[in-house]
Structure 1
């Protein structure tokens, strides 16, 4: 931003002379007389110099007019700049930021020095204000609550290093995980770590939620954005409402969402009811809710990108003011300039290359109301961590990766026998753990080499060269370390030339490519350009009206005295 005290009005005022604009020096403002300049001078002499005195009086008057005009212009310029400066400071003052302190790891730049962006977007269920108590309910006995609440919405938003594609991965709130040791820098709440529901980590601060998801997925999390109930209301109002579709009549008696079949534009509380509804869609669990949230977000992104939304000054002001008031972010995003930069990066990605997914899950053996990480999730995690697109250039879901070339062999299909050929205890375990951490098969094993080895080798069986090349790339080994054997499988012998670390010294290791077909399998993948997708209303008796279990459609028909959410 240029200095508001150095506007064009001041420069224009300083550059003016005392002459009336458009006049040459020595000319009057009247029409030219016949005979040219000589005749005009003669006429002036015959009038005793009165013309020259009139001209002399006109110059100061011209200067006064110019001074007034220049002063007025300067006031306008300074006033406009002052409003801009006030607006900028006002927005910065709205933002609440919290330090991450490296809890989410860090990204690695690609060959061109570009880095991906990974943001954890959280929706808190905390009733920490009167507005949230009114919207969320449940404060009649407790009153306004303190603390962070639970992260009932958790989405990892990945923007590729080249800004050509993006992936949004929802993690169901009912997922059971190991929460690491954490301490909230804001209120001092701490935990030594525990096994529990993933959304509970937010109680120990946003950085703890980031650390929990980083530990679970291996994805570096650069930033976080947290919204509460009132934040969703403000954002939906600021964009003028979000258009969504439901495939049947629905009344979720818990979130209070009530809509007839078809398309609706939702604002305010209606938007909040839609994104909070877990009993209205799918199987009535949090898995169904993530799909309807993806539909809502896709519609909001299309609204952001639509003509007029970002070119209307009033709309931009409302949106910026609402966004900065609604968000809590990490200190890496704690200014208007940084948020604008992030928005610009996201805006570069076409909607057909923004892929929404839900982390694959499996039932928790010890609790039917909870889930654990499913089998395909490792490939989804690896594809995001490896900056792999889950959509094609046409916006379709990624197809199966070919095993014909080394660069596309999925790590999940490769098991390696790691043998320690050094005299250093634990070398095989260190390297094997690094491989499984990059998504290699859990069938990877360790052993001691039959005899000490001075050099590191990776031996592969017939037809397994491509697999060996994938493993070598992940470890930083060059082609000179590879050799074909007579047996089957891959055997890595760690030699005396590699005594420390999990990447070969001087090598250029990189994450092994993930199986993108497995990554989107059972992940309910869809792209942001799918405007005709409707949220699927639950066909099960997931709600209750007057104590009677019903389907959401039955509840809609029975609740004739309840207004629709968009009325």
Structure 2
């Protein structure tokens, strides 16, 4: 991404008290203050950490059973960066391209039931929960992956010069977290993952997302064909947009990241304008899809925990949120791979460790992908 740090829109501030469970055979009356929490969960499922919430109603007790969770702490043990007790939080958010289950119907990616981290974001929430920085990690970054133990107890040896997303395909969530902590020296407090099929369905249930393309995009590999102009993307088109890399910019993963960040802005704006949901059926469908889509660390493995997590971030505003791409350069030996600009990246990690804004100098002169401005919110 370019050197500038682009403020990102944030879902409006949630309010009111926590969720309520339904009584046997009855639905509780809707309360506007509760509607905000559930769309926060939906936003989590959309692949980006919850930075607030808008719209929600009552919560069904059985939604807790939809959420998958993994015990990262148990898998990784004590060989991790120290937790910094300064009021900040760090969250690793992944979008996975598994082809198992319902995702087999989606083209591209792997088709053998394995999975890779197609999208990766490190979200840092500053002390006081009024500001946040988001660092996208290119999946094609060549790294040295540390040895790691997955949640099933299997240990995987270290590997040299492998792509970043290989960590997830090798050892799942635990190895992905271990790798990010090794690269950054920062402990991840939470983990959130979303799968493709749920993301696609969620966008459809939100009624689509309006975007404007400044150039035509045609990428058969991601099944996306958009003419320049204004569009309301359905789930399939939205998924194609966040996955495309061959139809925009220089065809690199960096260009895709720029499109993903642009879509994040558009999606946040769409959720913001949904306002209060008046249909209990639509509300439940949205909640059901969201909770089936997301995988979390064990601490966030319930609706109550997710809603509480979102409510704690309600003070963050759009002008106090920054998104960048981890500083990288193209690999001279392979233009389809990138290498970490270590000195620039260290400026990012040092800033987050010390709970400070990321300096603009951290991304100056780094690779961009040349896809900025191709997609914008209307």
TM-score, structure 1 as length reference: 0.52
Q: How far, CA to CA, are the matches of 1:189 and 1:218 in structure 2?
A: 23
- Show the counterpart of 2:374: 535
Structure 1 unpaired stretches of 5+: 6-76, 391-515, 526-532, 538-567
- Aligned pairs for 1:187-336 (under 5 A) are 189-195=154-160, 196-203=162-169, 204-306=171-273, 308=275, 313-336=280-303
Aligned with 2:312: secondary structure? Answer: helix
Partner of 1:430: none
Superposed displacement of residue 185, structure 1: 1.9
Secondary structure at the counterpart of residue 254 of structure 1: helix
Q: Which has the higher contact order (CA 8 A, sep 6+)?
A: 2
Measure, in 2, the Cα distance between the counterparts of 1:385 and 1:312: 43
In structure 2, distance between residues paired with 1:383 and 1:3: 41
Deviations 1:305-334 (A, max 9, x none): 335156764544333211111111110110
- DSSP-derived class of the 1:282 partner: coil
Alignment of 1:132 with 2:93, yes or no, is no
The change in CA–CA distance for 1:523 and 1:317 in structure 2 (over 3 A counts) is farther
2:93 match: 121
Q: Indicate the residue corresponding to 1:369 in structure 2.
A: 336
Report if aligned partners of 1:383, 1:519 keep a CA contact under 8 Å in 2. no
CA contact (8 A) 1:303 1:309 kept: no
For residues 98 and 222 of structure 1, the distance between their equivalents in structure 2, rounded to whole angstroms, comes to 13
Contact 1:172–1:290 under 8 Å retained in 2: yes
Shift of 1:535: 2.2
> Which residue pairs with 2:69 in the alignment?
97
Aligned mates of 1:305, 1:536 — CA distance in 2: 19
Q: Which has the larger radius of gyration?
A: 1
**Mapped partners of 1:272, 1:258: distance in 2:** 12
1:151 aligns with 2:117: yes
Asked if 1:79 is matched to 2:44, the reply is no
* Residue number in structure 2 paired with 1:477: none
Distance 1:106 1:247 in 2: 45
- Is contact 2:194–2:295 with CA below 8 Å preserved after alignment? yes
User: Counterpart of 1:383?
Assistant: 351
CA distance in 2, matches of 1:298, 1:258: 21
Task: Choose from 173, 184, 202 the match for 2:150.
Answer: 184
Match in the other structure for 1:172: 138
The 2-side partners of 1:124 and 1:78 are apart by: 37
Q: Cα distance 1:90–1:523, how it changes in 2: closer, same or farther (>3 A)?
A: farther
The 1:244–1:190 alpha-carbon spacing in structure 2 relative to 1, beyond 3 Å, is farther
What do the CA deviations read for 1:385-436 (whole angstroms, capped 9, x no partner)? 222235xxxxxxxxxxxxxxxxxxxxxxxxxxxxxxxxxxxxxxxxxxxxxx
Q: Check conservation: 2:168, 2:175, Cα contact below 8 A.
A: yes
Query: Contact between 2:211 and 2:375, CA under 8 Å: does it hold in 1?
Result: no
Aligned positions of 1:49-64 closer than 5 A:
none
